[in-house]
């Protein structure tokens, strides 16, 4: 009995030692700080897929963009400016230390960047926009329905192109416009991570639930679709109006020249 117990304890100890030996701090840091938005081999989801990034960018540049991305923008770094232009916003400063940045880069250079260690995109079924889900997202956005964990409503800082909603102006990000740029996957990553500087403080230990994220996405998607529909319907009317004005002007001109 004692031998069996000792053997069992020994096996558990060896398992724990092996687990610790194979634990990668770089992966842990990536999962905690980066995986909310970025994928490794999952394709662009409104933000950069970082698979193979260590082969395209120098370690010095990667350190800079992980530690202080805002300074790269201030220096007008061409790669950073191109990324901001492509995705519509600057990556937030997450407060990652130099040593932790090196660990993340080392992991991306090794198993993290290899096909065998690739992390796929966080797959979710596409949010189906229904009146009920849009209404739920609108209530969460405006604060009429509080978030389960007690986070502040979106309207406190953000504007959105939706009827009878003005929104805050603390953030320059209009969320219907952000949705158009980021798409559903990118927006899901942003809402799941909430890593932007102001949001990071407000929502610390107050993550959104999957149901809340789905409701907000439905609301943003609906607002973006309404803008597209409105714009499409305005162009024919605008064109007809210009044509009428042109005919009236031509008629008046002919009368004067007679």
Does any domain span residue 250?
no
Residue 241 maps to a domain: no
Q: How far apart are CA 92 and CA 70, in angstroms?
A: 7
Residues 137 and 107 both lie in one domain: no
Residue 249 in any domain: the answer is no
CA atoms within 13 Å, Cβ hemisphere of 118: 15
The answer to whether residues 160 and 208 belong to one domain is yes
Domain boundary among 117, 152, 175: 117
Residue 142 lies in a domain: yes
Report whether 143 contacts 129 (CB < 8 A).
no
Residue 247 maps to a domain: no
Distant-in-sequence, close-in-space partners of 147: CB < 8 Å, separation ≥ 6: 140, 153, 206, 208, 212
Q: Along the 258 residues of the chain, how does pLDDT read in single tens digits?
A: 555 555 544 554 444 444 444 568 999 998 888 877 787 887 776 678 888 899 999 999 999 999 999 899 999 999 999 988 887 778 888 889 999 999 999 999 886 665 444 444 455 678 989 999 999 999 999 999 999 999 999 998 888 988 888 777 666 678 888 888 778 877 887 888 777 767 877 888 898 999 999 999 999 999 988 865 544 444 444 444 434 444 444 454 455 555
- Any domain includes 189: yes
For the chain, the domain total comes to 2
Range of the domain at 197: 131-234
Whether residues 166 and 202 share a domain: the answer is yes
Q: Which CATH number characterizes residue 191's domain?
A: 1.10.760.10
Secondary structure element (H or E) that encloses residue 1, with its range: none
Using alpha carbons, select from 160, 175, 184, 171 the residue that is nearest to residue 47.
184
Residue 92 CA to residue 95 CA, distance in Å, equals 9
């Amino acid at each position: 009995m004692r031998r069996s117990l000792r053997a069992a304890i020994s096996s558990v100890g060896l398992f724990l030692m092996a687990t610790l030996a194979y634990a990668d701090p770089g992966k842990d840091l990536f999962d905690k700080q980066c995986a909310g938005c970025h994928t490794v081999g999952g394709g662009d989801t409104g933000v950069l897929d970082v698979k193979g990034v260590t082969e395209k960018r120098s370690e010095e540049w990667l350190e800079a963009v992980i530690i202080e991305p805002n300074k790269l923008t201030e220096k007008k770094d061409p790669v950073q400016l191109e990324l901001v232009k492509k995705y519509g916003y600057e990556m937030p400063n997450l407060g990652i230390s130099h040593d932790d940045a090196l660990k993340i880069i080392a992991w991306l250079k090794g198993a993290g960047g290899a096909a065998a260690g690739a992390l796929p995109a966080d797959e979710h079924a596409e949010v189906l926009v229904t009146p009920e889900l849009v209404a739920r997202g609108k209530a969460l956005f405006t604060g009429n329905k509080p978030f389960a964990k007690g986070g502040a409503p979106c309207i406190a800082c953000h504007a959105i192109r939706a009827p009878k909603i003005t929104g805050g102006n603390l953030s320059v990000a209009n969320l219907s416009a952000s949705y158009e740029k980021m798409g559903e996957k990118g927006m899901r990553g942003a809402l799941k991570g909430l890593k932007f500087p102001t949001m990071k403080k407000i929502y610390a230990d107050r993550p959104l639930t999957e149901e809340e994220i789905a409701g907000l996405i439905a609301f943003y998607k609906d607002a973006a679709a309404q803008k597209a529909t409105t714009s499409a319907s305005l162009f024919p009317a605008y064109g007809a109006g210009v044509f009428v004005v042109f005919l009236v002007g031509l008629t008046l001109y002919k009368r004067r020249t007679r």
